[in-house]
Amino acid sequence: MKKTILSLLVLVTGLSGFAQNTSYWQQHVAYTMDVDMDVKSHEYTGTQKLVYTNNSPDALNKVYYHLYFNAFQPGSEMDRRLQSIADPDDRMMADGKSRISALQPDEIGYLHPTSLTQNGKPVSFSEEGTVLVVTLAEAIPPGGTATFDMVFKGQIPIQIRRSGRDSEEGVALSMSQWYPKLAEYDFEGWHADPYIAREFQGVWGDFDVKITIDKNYTVGGSGYLQNAQEIGHGYEAPGTKIKKQKGKTLTWHFKAPRVHDFMWAADPEYIHDTLQVENGPMLHFLYKDNAAIKENWKKLQPKTAEMMQFFSKNVGTYPYDQYSVIQGGDGGMEYAMATLITGERKFGSLVGVTAHEMAHSWFQHILASNEAKHEWMDEGFTSFISHLYMNEYMGEKKTNPFEGSYKGYNYLVKSGKEQPQTTHADRYAENMPYSIAAYSKGEIFLAQLGYIIGQENLMETLKKYFNDFKFKHPTPNDIKRTAEKVSGIELDWYLMDWTQTTNTIDYGITAVVADGEQTKVSLERIGLMPMPLDILVVYADDTQETFYAPLRMMRGEKENPYPNLTRTVVEDWPWAFPTYDFTIAKPLTAIKAIVIDPSQLMADVNLENNAWENK
Ligand SMILES: [Zn+2]
């Protein structure tokens, strides 16, 4: 008897230990970097002091850094991936060949630590492609802190993807993924993914960065400039004179608090404009002094203020005092407090790319789900809110602002190339199924969630999700649980089927027959994925009514999405039943048409069987 009690006690203690391990924690970094940039040779040298706090319950014997620029070398993993994928990114190809494979030694990118110490003692380190593996001199205990001092040298590659020198539009330096960046360690362990042109994940912390560069270059990027009065270049207080530094270079001093990355760009021909958002951040615009784009870039500025307010109102307040829109890179890419976009675009496209990249601030930057594992939570949610903005403010006014994504998703399903959204971003067979899964299917996750729980609940879910999980790397379960708490509807089935499988939705109307003075409607579930159904009935006199068949496993109901129409809630549809009947209390002759989901927010892969017409 005693023995039993004792073993029970052991068991209970063991369990509580397990519970502690699953409670939330995150690592912390504080970088101090001093970088010298040679704009002629495109080489740079730097020192980096990294204070790393291990808030995990684990002792760490190793740490990993990303050395992203090493990807831009012939024979790298990125190069081999480019050569072997069926649908390579056009930007990275020339004459059907990998541009990386053709790089000369003075055109490649590299990032090499030349010395590294931990608390003053040398540690052993080795480069494995784009990842630096560091075996620590002494383990960092749970709750412990280590200071890493590194000296590094780098070379900026010719612009091939995202970062690099001399972009197609003539921007001199697009400096993203440019410094040795500590990999994230979280409840899943290390995330030292090799860089093969896709997604990122970083540790939150504070960046203190000094960049010494040719004094003719204007610099923009993450972080607040600390010495604006010595720098000028449009950063000085309006109407004041700057204290000119002597010599051929300027040292720019930036501080970026509570970010997980630091990007910068520089060009000798940048125009630098600013615009203060009312009750919001200061916006900076840096773009080439090019007559062909100037007018669009001026018109972009009030639109950027408008979208900043739209996202702040609909998702949550933007928590920084600055945001910069910078011409650079090779398309559009989001970074902490800034974006790099190509600038030679029509006005609508310029606003569209800015809206998308700025919207990333909420999802990629501030929520920061692991983009490599849950790419749909970043690209998809970003697409959702930026399309809402474009629809409301750029005159698109579509009934379904997400229409294009539903079309894309349908295309993917029909292609037979769909992979579940749980696929690691690097491991899709081709780029197309990745893009549609991340952007379109990710956007539909939210749009369709609105169909399931109601539009008001959806927007409240988004706000609560942002508020509860900002700066916390949320996982898919977090958005699901938030929606459940807001709506009172159970959604595990939705998260699982939509994101972890390639099950599709297909409901159809099989028969509409007279049943005396009433009408019997027969429906079928053809697809494996369950859904609740909104059914619109149009009568011969053109009046309309809706019927709502909740899914039994939802254990709840949404509000009437068509408050101007009478809604009848019919019996729950249990998923395992392939067919379902309900009765309309009017004769068959009085019915003109019946439509499943008139909103088309439910991603039914076959719309042909969704409508019935009385002929
Ligand atoms: Zn994006």
pLDDT in tens, 276-317: 999 999 999 999 999 999 999 999 999 999 999 999 999 999
Q: Which residues contact 46 (CB under 8 A, 6 or more apart)?
A: 33, 34, 35, 36, 151, 152, 153, 154, 179
DSSP string, 114-183: EEEEETTEE-EEEEETTEEEEEEEEEE-TT-EEEEEEEEEEEPPBSSBSBEES-TT--SEEESS-S-EEP
User: Ligand 1: distance of its center to the CA of 363 in Å?
Assistant: 10
Residue type, 187: F
pLDDT digits (tens, 9 = 90+) for 400-436: 999 999 999 999 999 999 999 999 999 999 999 999 9
For the stretch 536-575, what's the b/e string if a residue is b when 16 or more beta carbons lie within 10 angstroms of its beta carbon? bbbeeeeebbbbbbbbebbeebbeebeeeeebeebebbeb
User: Ligand 1: distance of its center to the CA of 382 in Å?
Assistant: 7
How much is the pLDDT for 396? 77
Identify the bridge partners of residue 519 per DSSP, sorted by sequence position.
514, 584
Residue type, 582: F
| Banded pLDDT at 21 (limits 50, 70, 90) | very low
Q: Is 242 helix (H, G, I), strand (E, B) or coil?
A: coil
| Banded pLDDT at 22 (limits 50, 70, 90) | low
pLDDT digits (tens, 9 = 90+) for 553-593: 999 999 999 999 999 999 999 999 999 999 999 999 999 99
The rounded percent of the chain whose pLDDT value lies above 70 is 96
User: Ligand 1: distance of its center to the CA of 361 in Å?
Assistant: 10
How much is the pLDDT for 245? 75
User: Ligand 1: distance of its center to the CA of 164 in Å?
Assistant: 19
Whether the predicted pLDDT of 186 surpasses 60: yes
User: Ligand 1: distance of its center to the CA of 256 in Å?
Assistant: 22
Residue type, 257: P
CA dist list (Å): 149 to 11, 47, 105, 319, 435 = 44, 7, 28, 30, 39
| Banded pLDDT at 16 (limits 50, 70, 90) | very low
pTM over 0.75: yes
pLDDT digits (tens, 9 = 90+) for 48-63: 999 999 999 999 999 9
Q: pLDDT averaged over the chain?
A: 95
User: Ligand 1: distance of its center to the CA of 427 in Å?
Assistant: 18
User: Ligand 1: distance of its center to the CA of 462 in Å?
Assistant: 18
User: Ligand 1: distance of its center to the CA of 582 in Å?
Assistant: 43
Pairing of strands 60-66, 93-94: unpaired
Residue type, 300: L
Residue that has been written with the tokens 């790099």 in this structure = 340
User: Ligand 1: distance of its center to the CA of 212 in Å?
Assistant: 31
User: Ligand 1: distance of its center to the CA of 357 in Å?
Assistant: 6
